[in-house]
Structure 1
Protein backbone atom coordinates (compact mmCIF):
# COMPACT_ATOMS: atom_id res chain seq x y z
CA UNK A 1 0.00 0.00 0.00
CA UNK A 2 1.28 3.45 -0.87
CA UNK A 3 2.23 5.45 2.22
CA UNK A 4 0.12 8.40 1.05
CA UNK A 5 -2.26 10.15 3.44
CA UNK A 6 -5.21 11.80 1.90
CA UNK A 7 -4.07 14.28 1.14
CA UNK A 8 5.89 41.58 0.78
CA UNK A 9 7.03 44.12 -1.55
CA UNK A 10 9.97 41.96 -2.47
CA UNK A 11 7.74 38.90 -2.60
CA UNK A 12 5.24 40.71 -4.81
CA UNK A 13 8.03 41.43 -7.23
CA UNK A 14 8.96 37.75 -7.28
CA UNK A 15 5.37 36.69 -7.91
CA UNK A 16 4.47 39.43 -10.38
CA UNK A 17 5.02 37.32 -13.53
CA UNK A 18 2.55 34.69 -12.36
CA UNK A 19 -0.28 36.45 -10.51
CA UNK A 20 -2.14 37.76 -13.57
CA UNK A 21 -5.65 36.40 -13.47
CA UNK A 22 -5.70 34.23 -16.56
CA UNK A 23 -8.70 32.25 -17.68
CA UNK A 24 -8.96 29.02 -19.63
CA UNK A 25 -9.80 29.36 -23.28
CA UNK A 26 -10.68 26.30 -25.31
CA UNK A 27 -12.52 23.46 -23.59
CA UNK A 28 -12.75 19.91 -24.90
CA UNK A 29 -13.30 16.39 -23.59
CA UNK A 30 -11.32 13.15 -23.65
CA UNK A 31 -12.81 9.67 -23.39
CA UNK A 32 -12.20 7.61 -20.25
CA UNK A 33 -14.05 4.30 -20.43
CA UNK A 34 -17.73 5.21 -20.51
CA UNK A 35 -17.06 8.75 -19.34
CA UNK A 36 -16.07 11.93 -21.14
CA UNK A 37 -13.77 14.10 -19.04
CA UNK A 38 -13.15 17.85 -19.49
CA UNK A 39 -9.86 19.49 -20.38
CA UNK A 40 -9.28 23.26 -20.10
CA UNK A 41 -6.59 24.96 -22.17
CA UNK A 42 -4.49 27.93 -21.04
CA UNK A 43 -2.85 28.92 -24.30
CA UNK A 44 0.45 30.73 -24.68
CA UNK A 45 0.45 33.86 -26.80
CA UNK A 46 3.47 32.69 -28.78
CA UNK A 47 2.69 31.93 -32.42
CA UNK A 48 3.47 28.69 -34.20
CA UNK A 49 3.92 25.23 -32.75
CA UNK A 50 4.32 25.04 -28.97
CA UNK A 51 5.05 22.45 -26.29
CA UNK A 52 2.36 21.56 -23.78
CA UNK A 53 2.09 20.58 -20.12
CA UNK A 54 -0.82 18.57 -18.73
CA UNK A 55 -1.64 19.62 -15.16
CA UNK A 56 -3.01 16.92 -12.82
CA UNK A 57 -4.74 18.15 -9.67
CA UNK A 58 -4.79 16.61 -6.21
CA UNK A 59 -7.47 14.36 -4.72
CA UNK A 60 -9.79 17.25 -3.91
CA UNK A 61 -10.12 18.35 -7.50
CA UNK A 62 -9.21 21.58 -9.24
CA UNK A 63 -11.77 23.97 -7.80
CA UNK A 64 -10.60 23.91 -4.17
CA UNK A 65 -7.09 24.99 -5.15
CA UNK A 66 -7.86 26.55 -8.52
CA UNK A 67 -5.75 29.65 -8.03
CA UNK A 68 -2.75 27.61 -6.89
CA UNK A 69 -2.86 25.57 -10.09
CA UNK A 70 -3.57 28.61 -12.25
CA UNK A 71 -0.34 30.25 -11.08
CA UNK A 72 1.56 27.44 -12.79
CA UNK A 73 -0.59 27.79 -15.93
CA UNK A 74 0.11 31.54 -15.96
CA UNK A 75 3.85 31.01 -15.64
CA UNK A 76 3.97 28.31 -18.30
CA UNK A 77 1.82 30.16 -20.83
CA UNK A 78 3.78 33.38 -20.27
CA UNK A 79 6.89 31.46 -21.30
CA UNK A 80 5.44 29.96 -24.47
CA UNK A 81 4.11 26.64 -23.14
CA UNK A 82 0.41 25.71 -23.39
CA UNK A 83 -1.06 24.38 -20.13
CA UNK A 84 -3.96 21.93 -20.08
CA UNK A 85 -5.95 21.14 -16.92
CA UNK A 86 -7.23 17.57 -17.05
CA UNK A 87 -10.08 16.72 -14.71
CA UNK A 88 -9.21 13.06 -14.61
CA UNK A 89 -11.73 11.94 -12.01
CA UNK A 90 -14.93 10.28 -13.19
CA UNK A 91 -18.20 10.90 -11.32
CA UNK A 92 -17.69 7.53 -9.59
CA UNK A 93 -14.18 8.56 -8.52
CA UNK A 94 -15.43 11.82 -7.07
CA UNK A 95 -18.33 10.22 -5.22
CA UNK A 96 -16.18 7.43 -3.81
CA UNK A 97 -13.35 9.64 -2.58
CA UNK A 98 -15.71 12.26 -1.14
CA UNK A 99 -18.05 9.83 0.63
CA UNK A 100 -18.56 10.68 4.30
CA UNK A 101 -18.12 7.04 5.21
CA UNK A 102 -14.72 6.79 3.55
CA UNK A 103 -11.52 6.53 5.56
CA UNK A 104 -7.94 7.28 4.62
CA UNK A 105 -7.33 3.56 4.19
CA UNK A 106 -10.41 3.04 2.01
CA UNK A 107 -9.49 6.01 -0.19
CA UNK A 108 -5.96 4.76 -0.67
CA UNK A 109 -7.24 1.26 -1.45
CA UNK A 110 -9.61 2.69 -4.05
CA UNK A 111 -6.86 4.81 -5.60
CA UNK A 112 -4.66 1.75 -6.11
CA UNK A 113 -7.43 0.22 -8.25
CA UNK A 114 -7.67 3.34 -10.41
CA UNK A 115 -4.08 4.16 -11.36
CA UNK A 116 -4.23 2.13 -14.58
CA UNK A 117 -7.42 3.86 -15.67
CA UNK A 118 -6.18 7.31 -14.75
CA UNK A 119 -2.90 6.72 -16.58
CA UNK A 120 -4.88 5.64 -19.66
CA UNK A 121 -6.84 8.91 -19.46
CA UNK A 122 -3.59 10.88 -19.35
CA UNK A 123 -2.31 8.99 -22.41
CA UNK A 124 -5.55 9.71 -24.26
CA UNK A 125 -5.02 13.39 -23.50
CA UNK A 126 -1.43 13.21 -24.75
CA UNK A 127 -2.74 11.74 -28.01
CA UNK A 128 -5.26 14.57 -28.35
CA UNK A 129 -2.59 17.22 -27.79
CA UNK A 130 -0.08 15.66 -30.19
CA UNK A 131 -2.77 15.60 -32.89
CA UNK A 132 -3.24 19.38 -32.66
CA UNK A 133 -1.89 21.53 -35.47
CA UNK A 134 -0.22 23.85 -32.92
CA UNK A 135 1.66 21.04 -31.14
CA UNK A 136 5.45 20.99 -31.24
CA UNK A 137 5.35 17.28 -30.43
CA UNK A 138 6.67 17.80 -26.89
CA UNK A 139 4.37 17.13 -23.90
CA UNK A 140 5.16 17.21 -20.19
CA UNK A 141 3.21 16.26 -17.06
CA UNK A 142 2.86 18.33 -13.89
CA UNK A 143 1.21 16.51 -10.98
CA UNK A 144 0.29 17.55 -7.45
CA UNK A 145 -0.16 15.03 -4.60
CA UNK A 146 -2.44 12.29 -5.98
CA UNK A 147 -1.97 13.89 -9.40
CA UNK A 148 1.77 13.48 -8.89
CA UNK A 149 1.37 9.72 -8.46
CA UNK A 150 -0.77 9.58 -11.58
CA UNK A 151 1.73 11.68 -13.54
CA UNK A 152 4.61 9.42 -12.49
CA UNK A 153 2.62 6.28 -13.36
CA UNK A 154 1.63 7.66 -16.77
CA UNK A 155 5.17 8.85 -17.55
CA UNK A 156 6.55 5.38 -16.79
CA UNK A 157 4.04 3.81 -19.20
CA UNK A 158 3.99 6.35 -22.04
CA UNK A 159 7.33 7.12 -23.71
CA UNK A 160 5.79 10.07 -25.56
CA UNK A 161 5.91 12.08 -22.32
CA UNK A 162 9.05 14.22 -22.51
CA UNK A 163 9.27 15.65 -18.98
CA UNK A 164 7.77 15.03 -15.55
CA UNK A 165 7.36 17.39 -12.57
CA UNK A 166 5.92 16.04 -9.32
CA UNK A 167 5.03 18.10 -6.27
CA UNK A 168 4.57 16.19 -3.01
CA UNK A 169 3.82 12.91 -4.77
CA UNK A 170 5.56 9.68 -5.73
CA UNK A 171 5.23 6.48 -7.75
CA UNK A 172 2.39 4.02 -7.06
CA UNK A 173 3.84 1.00 -5.31
CA UNK A 174 2.35 -1.51 -7.75
CA UNK A 175 3.99 0.33 -10.66
CA UNK A 176 7.41 0.88 -9.08
CA UNK A 177 8.66 -2.66 -9.70
CA UNK A 178 7.62 -2.46 -13.37
CA UNK A 179 9.30 0.82 -14.29
CA UNK A 180 11.77 0.51 -17.17
CA UNK A 181 11.74 4.13 -18.30
CA UNK A 182 11.12 7.63 -16.97
CA UNK A 183 11.64 10.97 -18.70
CA UNK A 184 13.68 13.77 -17.14
CA UNK A 185 12.01 14.59 -13.84
CA UNK A 186 11.99 17.10 -11.03
CA UNK A 187 10.39 16.37 -7.66
CA UNK A 188 9.60 19.05 -5.08
CA UNK A 189 8.63 18.06 -1.53
CA UNK A 190 8.23 19.60 1.90
CA UNK A 191 10.35 17.95 4.58
CA UNK A 192 7.49 18.31 7.10
CA UNK A 193 4.82 16.83 4.80
CA UNK A 194 2.46 14.70 6.90
CA UNK A 195 0.13 13.79 4.02
CA UNK A 196 2.71 12.35 1.64
CA UNK A 197 6.00 11.62 3.44
CA UNK A 198 9.08 13.07 1.79
CA UNK A 199 10.42 9.53 1.46
CA UNK A 200 7.92 9.06 -1.37
CA UNK A 201 9.48 11.88 -3.37
CA UNK A 202 12.99 10.66 -2.67
CA UNK A 203 12.05 7.16 -3.76
CA UNK A 204 10.64 8.47 -7.04
CA UNK A 205 13.92 10.23 -7.79
CA UNK A 206 15.90 7.14 -6.82
CA UNK A 207 13.73 5.09 -9.16
CA UNK A 208 14.30 7.58 -11.96
CA UNK A 209 18.05 7.38 -11.50
CA UNK A 210 17.90 3.59 -11.55
CA UNK A 211 16.45 3.62 -15.07
CA UNK A 212 18.83 6.29 -16.35
CA UNK A 213 16.57 9.33 -16.13
CA UNK A 214 17.92 12.80 -15.49
CA UNK A 215 16.57 13.75 -12.05
CA UNK A 216 16.43 16.64 -9.60
CA UNK A 217 15.08 16.59 -6.06
CA UNK A 218 14.17 19.83 -4.25
CA UNK A 219 13.39 19.51 -0.52
CA UNK A 220 11.79 22.40 1.38
CA UNK A 221 12.97 22.35 5.02
CA UNK A 222 10.17 22.69 7.56
CA UNK A 223 7.45 22.89 4.90
CA UNK A 224 4.25 20.84 4.87
CA UNK A 225 1.96 19.53 2.14
CA UNK A 226 0.86 22.23 -0.30
CA UNK A 227 3.71 24.60 0.52
CA UNK A 228 3.02 26.39 -2.80
CA UNK A 229 -0.67 27.16 -2.20
CA UNK A 230 -0.28 30.73 -0.92
CA UNK A 231 0.49 33.96 -2.80
CA UNK A 232 2.48 35.21 0.18
CA UNK A 233 4.96 32.36 0.66
CA UNK A 234 8.43 32.61 -0.89
CA UNK A 235 8.25 28.85 -1.49
CA UNK A 236 5.40 29.48 -3.95
CA UNK A 237 7.44 31.67 -6.28
CA UNK A 238 10.46 29.40 -5.88
CA UNK A 239 8.50 26.27 -6.83
CA UNK A 240 6.80 27.92 -9.80
CA UNK A 241 10.11 29.29 -11.06
CA UNK A 242 11.86 25.92 -10.76
CA UNK A 243 9.05 24.00 -12.46
CA UNK A 244 8.68 26.51 -15.27
CA UNK A 245 12.41 26.61 -16.00
CA UNK A 246 12.50 22.81 -15.93
CA UNK A 247 9.79 22.52 -18.58
CA UNK A 248 11.37 25.28 -20.66
CA UNK A 249 14.63 23.36 -20.72
CA UNK A 250 13.19 19.89 -21.33
CA UNK A 251 10.40 20.71 -23.79
CA UNK A 252 12.26 23.14 -26.01
CA UNK A 253 12.45 21.98 -29.62
Structure 2
Protein backbone atom coordinates (compact mmCIF):
# COMPACT_ATOMS: atom_id res chain seq x y z
CA UNK A 1 0.00 0.00 0.00
CA UNK A 2 2.80 2.40 0.88
CA UNK A 3 4.53 1.68 -2.46
CA UNK A 4 1.27 2.32 -4.32
CA UNK A 5 0.85 5.72 -2.60
CA UNK A 6 4.42 6.70 -3.50
CA UNK A 7 3.85 5.74 -7.15
CA UNK A 8 0.67 7.86 -7.30
CA UNK A 9 2.49 10.82 -5.78
CA UNK A 10 5.34 10.54 -8.29
CA UNK A 11 2.91 10.34 -11.21
CA UNK A 12 1.01 13.37 -9.96
CA UNK A 13 4.22 15.38 -9.67
CA UNK A 14 5.19 14.44 -13.24
CA UNK A 15 1.95 15.80 -14.73
CA UNK A 16 1.67 19.48 -15.71
CA UNK A 17 -0.62 21.48 -13.48
CA UNK A 18 -4.01 22.39 -14.86
CA UNK A 19 -3.78 25.63 -16.74
CA UNK A 20 0.02 25.49 -16.89
CA UNK A 21 0.05 26.41 -20.57
CA UNK A 22 -2.27 29.35 -20.00
CA UNK A 23 -0.05 30.55 -17.16
CA UNK A 24 2.91 30.69 -19.59
CA UNK A 25 1.13 33.35 -21.64
CA UNK A 26 2.20 36.95 -21.13
CA UNK A 27 -0.61 39.47 -20.68
CA UNK A 28 -0.87 43.15 -21.50
CA UNK A 29 -3.62 45.62 -22.33
CA UNK A 30 -3.84 47.69 -25.50
CA UNK A 31 -5.80 50.97 -25.30
CA UNK A 32 -8.22 51.42 -28.21
CA UNK A 33 -11.13 53.73 -28.98
CA UNK A 34 -13.38 50.88 -27.81
CA UNK A 35 -11.55 50.65 -24.47
CA UNK A 36 -8.68 48.57 -23.18
CA UNK A 37 -8.30 45.15 -24.83
CA UNK A 38 -6.62 42.25 -23.05
CA UNK A 39 -3.95 40.57 -25.18
CA UNK A 40 -1.99 37.40 -24.41
CA UNK A 41 1.28 36.52 -26.11
CA UNK A 42 3.68 33.59 -26.14
CA UNK A 43 6.87 35.66 -26.16
CA UNK A 44 8.97 36.51 -29.20
CA UNK A 45 9.86 34.07 -31.96
CA UNK A 46 13.50 33.16 -32.52
CA UNK A 47 14.02 35.59 -35.40
CA UNK A 48 15.18 39.21 -35.21
CA UNK A 49 11.92 40.31 -36.85
CA UNK A 50 8.72 38.46 -35.99
CA UNK A 51 5.55 39.59 -37.83
CA UNK A 52 2.45 39.69 -35.65
CA UNK A 53 -0.59 37.41 -35.91
CA UNK A 54 -3.80 38.45 -34.18
CA UNK A 55 -5.89 35.41 -33.19
CA UNK A 56 -9.63 35.88 -32.61
CA UNK A 57 -11.58 33.17 -30.85
CA UNK A 58 -14.99 31.72 -31.39
CA UNK A 59 -17.90 32.54 -29.09
CA UNK A 60 -16.46 30.56 -26.14
CA UNK A 61 -13.28 32.58 -25.83
CA UNK A 62 -9.75 31.31 -25.29
CA UNK A 63 -10.32 28.85 -22.44
CA UNK A 64 -9.62 25.74 -24.54
CA UNK A 65 -6.00 24.49 -24.27
CA UNK A 66 -5.89 24.10 -28.07
CA UNK A 67 -5.26 27.83 -28.38
CA UNK A 68 -1.84 27.25 -26.83
CA UNK A 69 -1.14 24.68 -29.55
CA UNK A 70 -2.26 27.12 -32.24
CA UNK A 71 -0.09 29.89 -30.80
CA UNK A 72 2.95 27.64 -30.54
CA UNK A 73 2.54 26.41 -34.13
CA UNK A 74 2.40 29.99 -35.37
CA UNK A 75 5.40 30.96 -33.29
CA UNK A 76 7.41 28.03 -34.64
CA UNK A 77 6.78 29.45 -38.14
CA UNK A 78 8.73 32.61 -37.20
CA UNK A 79 5.77 34.75 -36.16
CA UNK A 80 4.51 36.28 -32.92
CA UNK A 81 1.05 35.03 -31.94
CA UNK A 82 -1.35 37.17 -29.94
CA UNK A 83 -4.64 36.02 -28.44
CA UNK A 84 -6.79 39.16 -28.58
CA UNK A 85 -9.72 39.18 -26.16
CA UNK A 86 -12.16 41.40 -28.04
CA UNK A 87 -14.88 39.26 -26.43
CA UNK A 88 -14.82 40.51 -22.85
CA UNK A 89 -16.07 38.44 -19.92
CA UNK A 90 -19.45 40.18 -20.13
CA UNK A 91 -19.70 39.24 -23.83
CA UNK A 92 -18.90 35.60 -23.16
CA UNK A 93 -21.50 35.48 -20.39
CA UNK A 94 -24.17 37.15 -22.53
CA UNK A 95 -23.50 34.76 -25.41
CA UNK A 96 -23.52 31.68 -23.17
CA UNK A 97 -26.83 32.64 -21.54
CA UNK A 98 -28.60 33.94 -24.65
CA UNK A 99 -32.01 32.40 -25.26
CA UNK A 100 -31.36 30.67 -28.55
CA UNK A 101 -29.58 31.39 -31.82
CA UNK A 102 -31.71 34.41 -32.72
CA UNK A 103 -30.82 36.13 -29.44
CA UNK A 104 -27.12 35.41 -30.01
CA UNK A 105 -27.23 36.83 -33.55
CA UNK A 106 -28.96 39.96 -32.27
CA UNK A 107 -26.28 40.38 -29.62
CA UNK A 108 -23.50 39.90 -32.18
CA UNK A 109 -25.01 42.62 -34.38
CA UNK A 110 -25.10 45.04 -31.45
CA UNK A 111 -21.52 44.39 -30.41
CA UNK A 112 -19.79 43.90 -33.78
CA UNK A 113 -18.89 47.58 -34.36
CA UNK A 114 -17.00 47.70 -31.05
CA UNK A 115 -15.33 44.34 -31.65
CA UNK A 116 -14.20 45.38 -35.13
CA UNK A 117 -12.89 48.70 -33.84
CA UNK A 118 -11.00 46.90 -31.06
CA UNK A 119 -9.32 44.52 -33.53
CA UNK A 120 -8.29 47.39 -35.78
CA UNK A 121 -6.88 49.25 -32.77
CA UNK A 122 -4.83 46.28 -31.60
CA UNK A 123 -3.61 45.59 -35.14
CA UNK A 124 -2.46 49.21 -35.51
CA UNK A 125 -0.65 49.00 -32.16
CA UNK A 126 1.16 45.79 -33.14
CA UNK A 127 2.02 47.12 -36.59
CA UNK A 128 3.83 50.05 -34.94
CA UNK A 129 6.08 47.80 -32.82
CA UNK A 130 9.57 47.61 -34.44
CA UNK A 131 10.03 43.89 -33.75
CA UNK A 132 7.07 43.10 -36.05
CA UNK A 133 8.54 44.78 -39.11
CA UNK A 134 5.26 46.55 -39.83
CA UNK A 135 3.52 43.24 -40.71
CA UNK A 136 0.26 42.01 -39.15
CA UNK A 137 -2.00 39.09 -40.06
CA UNK A 138 -5.40 38.05 -38.71
CA UNK A 139 -6.61 34.53 -37.87
CA UNK A 140 -10.30 34.37 -36.97
CA UNK A 141 -12.28 31.30 -35.95
CA UNK A 142 -16.09 31.12 -36.34
CA UNK A 143 -17.38 34.32 -34.68
CA UNK A 144 -13.77 35.51 -34.71
CA UNK A 145 -13.73 34.97 -38.48
CA UNK A 146 -16.72 37.29 -38.87
CA UNK A 147 -14.95 39.96 -36.84
CA UNK A 148 -11.64 39.43 -38.68
CA UNK A 149 -13.17 39.62 -42.16
CA UNK A 150 -14.98 42.88 -41.43
CA UNK A 151 -11.89 44.33 -39.70
CA UNK A 152 -9.60 43.46 -42.64
CA UNK A 153 -11.81 44.68 -45.49
CA UNK A 154 -10.51 47.91 -47.01
CA UNK A 155 -7.64 48.02 -44.45
CA UNK A 156 -4.12 48.48 -45.78
CA UNK A 157 -2.56 47.58 -42.41
CA UNK A 158 -3.64 43.91 -42.54
CA UNK A 159 -1.22 41.90 -44.67
CA UNK A 160 -2.76 38.40 -44.55
CA UNK A 161 -6.08 36.93 -43.44
CA UNK A 162 -7.07 33.41 -42.37
CA UNK A 163 -10.76 32.64 -41.80
CA UNK A 164 -11.77 29.35 -40.19
CA UNK A 165 -15.37 28.20 -40.65
CA UNK A 166 -16.79 31.71 -40.91
CA UNK A 167 -16.94 34.78 -43.10
CA UNK A 168 -18.53 38.19 -43.22
CA UNK A 169 -21.31 38.97 -40.72
CA UNK A 170 -24.85 38.50 -42.00
CA UNK A 171 -25.60 42.22 -41.99
CA UNK A 172 -22.26 43.37 -43.41
CA UNK A 173 -23.58 45.93 -45.89
CA UNK A 174 -20.63 47.98 -47.22
CA UNK A 175 -19.39 46.57 -50.54
CA UNK A 176 -15.96 44.97 -50.28
CA UNK A 177 -13.41 46.42 -52.68
CA UNK A 178 -10.18 45.04 -51.21
CA UNK A 179 -8.96 42.20 -49.03
CA UNK A 180 -5.50 40.96 -48.05
CA UNK A 181 -4.26 37.59 -49.30
CA UNK A 182 -6.81 35.10 -47.95
CA UNK A 183 -6.79 31.50 -46.72
CA UNK A 184 -10.15 29.89 -45.99
CA UNK A 185 -10.13 26.80 -43.77
CA UNK A 186 -13.37 24.81 -43.68
CA UNK A 187 -14.75 21.52 -42.44
CA UNK A 188 -16.70 19.64 -45.11
CA UNK A 189 -19.31 18.61 -42.50
CA UNK A 190 -19.81 22.10 -41.04
CA UNK A 191 -23.56 22.58 -40.53
CA UNK A 192 -23.31 25.99 -38.86
CA UNK A 193 -21.59 27.62 -41.83
CA UNK A 194 -21.76 25.17 -44.78
CA UNK A 195 -18.74 24.95 -47.05
CA UNK A 196 -20.80 26.64 -49.79
CA UNK A 197 -20.24 29.88 -47.84
CA UNK A 198 -16.49 29.32 -48.07
CA UNK A 199 -16.71 28.74 -51.81
CA UNK A 200 -18.65 31.98 -52.29
CA UNK A 201 -16.05 33.86 -50.21
CA UNK A 202 -13.33 32.38 -52.39
CA UNK A 203 -15.09 33.53 -55.56
CA UNK A 204 -15.62 37.02 -54.13
CA UNK A 205 -11.95 37.41 -53.16
CA UNK A 206 -10.80 36.11 -56.54
CA UNK A 207 -13.00 38.69 -58.27
CA UNK A 208 -11.07 41.31 -56.30
CA UNK A 209 -7.85 39.89 -57.70
CA UNK A 210 -6.53 38.67 -54.36
CA UNK A 211 -4.58 35.42 -53.85
CA UNK A 212 -7.15 33.10 -52.27
CA UNK A 213 -7.05 29.46 -51.18
CA UNK A 214 -9.85 27.31 -49.78
CA UNK A 215 -8.73 24.27 -47.77
CA UNK A 216 -11.58 21.85 -47.08
CA UNK A 217 -11.00 19.17 -44.43
CA UNK A 218 -13.00 16.03 -45.10
CA UNK A 219 -15.43 15.14 -42.31
CA UNK A 220 -14.57 18.25 -40.32
CA UNK A 221 -17.41 19.64 -38.19
CA UNK A 222 -17.78 23.31 -37.34
CA UNK A 223 -15.38 23.04 -34.40
CA UNK A 224 -12.81 20.72 -36.00
CA UNK A 225 -10.06 23.37 -35.84
CA UNK A 226 -10.36 23.37 -32.03
CA UNK A 227 -10.29 19.59 -31.56
CA UNK A 228 -6.88 19.15 -29.98
CA UNK A 229 -4.78 16.22 -31.11
CA UNK A 230 -6.78 15.31 -34.21
CA UNK A 231 -5.16 14.93 -37.63
CA UNK A 232 -7.42 17.50 -39.29
CA UNK A 233 -6.81 20.11 -36.59
CA UNK A 234 -3.04 19.65 -36.62
CA UNK A 235 -2.88 19.88 -40.41
CA UNK A 236 -5.10 22.97 -40.43
CA UNK A 237 -3.03 24.71 -37.74
CA UNK A 238 0.13 24.09 -39.77
CA UNK A 239 -1.53 25.26 -42.99
CA UNK A 240 -2.58 28.51 -41.32
CA UNK A 241 0.92 29.08 -39.92
CA UNK A 242 2.61 28.37 -43.26
CA UNK A 243 0.25 30.69 -45.13
CA UNK A 244 0.74 33.53 -42.67
CA UNK A 245 4.51 33.10 -42.66
CA UNK A 246 4.63 33.10 -46.47
CA UNK A 247 2.79 36.43 -46.72
CA UNK A 248 4.12 38.19 -43.61
CA UNK A 249 7.80 37.31 -43.80
CA UNK A 250 8.47 38.77 -47.26
Same fold, judged at TM 0.5 (above): yes
Tell me the CA shift for residue 158 of structure 1. Answer: 2.0
| Distance of aligned partners of 1:237 and 1:176 in 2 relative to their CA distance in 1, 3 Å threshold | farther
Match of 2:106 in 1: 109
Match of 1:225 in 2: 222
Tell me the CA shift for residue 220 of structure 1. Answer: 1.6
Match of 1:130 in 2: 127
Alignment of 1:1-253 (within 5 A): 24-32=24-32, 35-63=35-63, 65=64, 67-99=65-97, 101-175=98-172, 177-253=174-250
State whether residues 35 and 90 of structure 1, in contact with CA within 8 Å, keep that contact through their aligned partners in structure 2: no
Q: Specify every segment of 5 or more residues in structure 1 that has no aligned partner in the other structure, as ranges.
A: 1-20
SS of the residue corresponding to residue 167 of structure 2 reads coil
SS of the residue corresponding to residue 242 of structure 2 reads helix
Q: Specify every segment of 5 or more residues in structure 2 that has no aligned partner in the other structure, as ranges.
A: 1-20
SS of the residue corresponding to residue 186 of structure 1 reads strand
Higher relative contact order (CA 8 A, sep 6+): 1
State whether residues 52 and 127 of structure 2, in contact with CA within 8 Å, keep that contact through their aligned partners in structure 1: no
Alignment RMSD: 2.1
SS of the residue corresponding to residue 83 of structure 2 reads strand
Count of matched residue positions in the alignment of Structure 1 and Structure 2: 231
State whether residues 43 and 81 of structure 1, in contact with CA within 8 Å, keep that contact through their aligned partners in structure 2: no
SS of the residue corresponding to residue 86 of structure 2 reads coil
Report the TM-score, using the length of structure 2 for normalisation: 0.85
SS of the residue corresponding to residue 59 of structure 1 reads coil
Q: Which protein shows a greater Rg?
A: 2
Q: Which runs of 4+ in 1 moved over 4 A?
A: 21-25
| Distance of aligned partners of 1:24 and 1:212 in 2 relative to their CA distance in 1, 3 Å threshold | farther
Tell me the CA shift for residue 231 of structure 1. Answer: 3.6
- How far, CA to CA, are the matches of 2:44 and 2:78 in structure 1? 5
- How far, CA to CA, are the matches of 1:231 and 1:114 in structure 2? 29
- How far, CA to CA, are the matches of 1:139 and 1:93 in structure 2? 25
- How far, CA to CA, are the matches of 1:116 and 1:212 in structure 2? 27
Tell me the CA shift for residue 202 of structure 1. Answer: 1.9
Tell me the CA shift for residue 50 of structure 1. Answer: 1.6
Tell me the CA shift for residue 23 of structure 1. Answer: 5.7
Tell me the CA shift for residue 87 of structure 1. Answer: 0.5
Report the TM-score, using the length of structure 1 for normalisation: 0.84
Tell me the CA shift for residue 177 of structure 1. Answer: 4.8
